[in-house]
Amino acid sequence: MHKHPTALGLATTLLPVQPVTLTRPHAARRAARFFVEKFPGRSIYAVKANPSPDLLALLWESGITHFDVASIAEVRLVATTVPDATMCFMHPVKAEEAIHEAYHTHGVRTFSLDTMEELEKIVRATSGATDLTLCVRIRVSSEHSKLSLASKFGADPSELRQLLIATRQVSDALGICFHVGSQAMSPAAYSGAMERVRAAIVDAGVTVDVVDVGGGFPSSYPGMEPPPLEVFFEVIHKCFEDLPVSYSSELWCEPGRALCAEYSSLIVRVEKRRGEELYINDGAYGALFDAAHIGWRFPVELLREPDSNARDMAFSFYGPTCDDMDHMAGPFMLPADMKAGDYIEIGMLGAYGCAMRTGFNGFGSVDTIEVTDEPMVSLYTEDQHRVPSNVVTL
């Protein structure tokens, strides 16, 4: 992998024709250390957010020893990349063959479930193993999160008591897990979910060894500036301390976005301007899926020397494919004198952006270059080293 000091220097000296993915290993290391040192329990990286082998390795080196995997492909990836890591297979609906391989070949001992059918599947696939940590996923609200995860998974409330009792009987350690949704903007998301955990424990009368609060920890985007993560941690810790569990019970979390969003950004080139629309060389089928399909706004910054003195205005983007759906409405605030040939850095794409790329129409990022400057926005630094042009300061 090539290295370069800054995004600006890279764009203005190399003049890349294709989109370039920038990685900032120091940002991911800083985020990992933050969770390892400050979260009051175990932090388990959600591989789905960014499965880059380089990222997995540096998170491991920074103290993340457990990885949340959602498919047998992710199990194999982690087993190959960080073979000493502990894996937790936290997808509630798994192929029986995947469970069998994960347990018998890769040493996976932690699985999640939300139905009796899945429990029976796990017992069969592991040949009635007695060394399992089984986490029952309960359904909780996503009202405080930007992206809901409340409808697809989670035990039916009418079956939860029976499921917890049955799981307790066949597990070495029983856990309860949940997911408050992606990009939770308030610690109330976790306190409300923990009340449901409390009610489930009391109703079933079971001994719980693990409480897993899942993911949802936010990063900072334009219009989505969350409270400090320490506030989330304090609320979670207080709620956990108040649960009817033993002193030996463990608290887990599954950060994805929060560990990797600042790791990557993207340099794109403007190929055409049409009024307030900029045609760029990456888009909905590349790293900007979320910007196109759910209206996510990412920080953007013009990379030009000398810099523009023009006032910012709102732009939308079109990506490079022949598809009208390849459109990112924004608004993305950039200087009014934007023109074809200009370069833009789009930040905070380490989470999901890099993971959801396709090769549709033959477009995509070709080069990955490591840079040493700071990410455009960070929750892990006291000072904002770079203020993106579409964050308005009042």
Q: How many CB atoms lie within 10 A of CB 366?
A: 11
Of 135, 239, 322, 354, catalytic = 322
In contact, 191 and 237? CB cutoff 8 Å: no
- The pair of structure tokens assigned to 313 is 């205005």
Give the whole-angstrom CA distance, residue 301 versus residue 372. Answer: 17
- What whole-number distance in Å separates Cα of residue 62 and Cα of residue 56? 10
In angstroms, the Cα distances linking 34 to 16, 28, 63, 269, 381 are 34, 10, 10, 34, 10
In angstroms, the CA 134 to CA 125 distance is 14
- What distance in Å separates the CA atoms of residue 99 and residue 104, rounded to the nearest whole number? 8
Instruction: Quickly count: other Cβ atoms within 10 Å of residue 292's Cβ.
Output: 21
- The CA-atom distances, in angstroms, between 161 and each of 122, 137, 138, 168, 204 are 19, 12, 11, 11, 5
The closest alpha carbon to 154, from 82, 75, 92, 217, belongs to: 92
d(CA 161, CA 202): 9
Task: Give kind and range of the element (H or E) at residue 38.
Answer: helix 25-38
The verdict on whether omega for the bond into residue 388 sits within 30 degrees of 0, i.e. cis, is no
**Is 253 annotated in the active site?**
no
End-to-end CA distance of the chain: 40
Task: Write out the catalytic residue numbers.
Answer: 322
